[in-house]
Amino acid sequence: MENESYNYIHRVNYYETDKMGITHHSNYVRWMEEARTSFLNHYGFGYAKLEADGIVSPVLSVNCKYKHTTTFDDEIRINIEVEKYTGIKLSFKYVMLNNKTDETVLTATTEHCFLDKKGFPIIVKKRFPELDSILKSLTIEKS
């Protein structure tokens, strides 16, 4: 499982495009959330499970570099990897590619933390040792 990446496919919807016929830049952030949710579900620790167990994981930062435009009906392959994991904070790395041309359309990162429902940081290893182990094994940048 070490350094395993995960791919999620999103097809651009008409409503995601703007007057110029290209995907509005804000939608890429939504697609990252879709990919991240699918990724966590794949490993058995989706947001629904975490929240049911009293853990939330807010976004601390988003950094995007737009490379090429996408348009209605393009199929976008979103490669997501755990870039860094400290036990309290988690960073994901995303590479979005046009599935037909393999052209990179966006590179991005997001940073998250783990909090209890009162907003206090939690140490994942203590609450979810299995999730901690999975995230450590998937991390590109070892601490």
Rounded to whole angstroms, the Cα distance separating 72 from 54 reads 38
Q: Which residue has the tokens 């990162």?
A: 109
Calculate the CA 90 to chain-centre distance. Answer: 10
Q: Is 74 a catalytic residue?
A: no
For the record, the structure tokens of 20 come out as: 């110029």
For the record, the structure tokens of 46 come out as: 């989706």
Choice among 18, 53, 73, 116 that is catalytic:
18
Cβ–Cβ under 8 Å, residues 28 and 92: no
For the record, the structure tokens of 62 come out as: 């988003």
* Catalytically active residues, by annotation: 18
